[in-house]
Every structure is written in structure tokens, then in C-alpha cells.
Amino acid sequence: MQNGRKSTRRRQSVEPFIARSTATIPRAAHSASNGFQSAQRSYERYLALAQEEARSGNVVGAENYYQHAEHYFRLMSLNRAAT
């Protein structure tokens, strides 16, 4: 409250948050269902971006994209091992 004004904000209950969080799909189940395909798409996208940056002479930008591509490559490997 400021200068005797009544606050117009209402306090939110914690209960809806708890109910909502238990209804969500577990992260492991979600990543197993479409993880490989999305990881593969991202890997290919970042690899193409890295190659384009390397062709243009931007070594730092290319390395950045190669690191992103490596991250998705590792995710693909983990998804393959899990199935």
C-alpha cells in the first residue's frame, strides 16, 4: 500500500499451481516421444548454419554453431541409447 491506497492486487492461491503441475506430462516421457526427431532437425539446422558461417569466413560464429550442433548430436545419441 502506498499513501493510504488500497491494493487492487489479489493474492493467488497455491492450489491451482499444485493441481496444474501434477497434470503435466513428465519430461522424460515427452522427450522420448519426439526427442530424436526434434534433436535431429536442430542438429542439421545448426550444422548448416555453422558451415555457412565458415564459408563466409566468420570462424567464431561457425564455432558457436558447431557447439550447438554438437549439443544436439549428443541428445540424439542419448535418445538412441534409451530406445
DSSP labels, 39-78: HHHHHHHHHHHHHHHHHHT-HHHHHHHHHHHHHHHHHHHH
Please report which confidence band the pLDDT of residue 44 belongs to, taking 50, 70 and 90 as the band edges. Answer: very high
The secondary element (H helix, E strand) that includes residue 79 is: helix 59-82
Query: Residue 64 is part of which domain span?
Result: 34-82
- The count of structural domains within the chain is 1
> C-alpha 27: how far from its chain's center?
11
Establish if 21 belongs to a structural domain. Answer: no
User: Is the dihedral angle over the CA atoms 19, 20, 23, 24 positive or is it negative?
Assistant: negative
Please report which confidence band the pLDDT of residue 45 belongs to, taking 50, 70 and 90 as the band edges. Answer: very high
**Predicted pLDDT of residue 74:** 94
Establish if 66 belongs to a structural domain. Answer: yes
Mean pLDDT of the region 33-60: 91
**Predicted pLDDT of residue 36:** 75
Cell numbers 557447439 correspond to what residue? 67
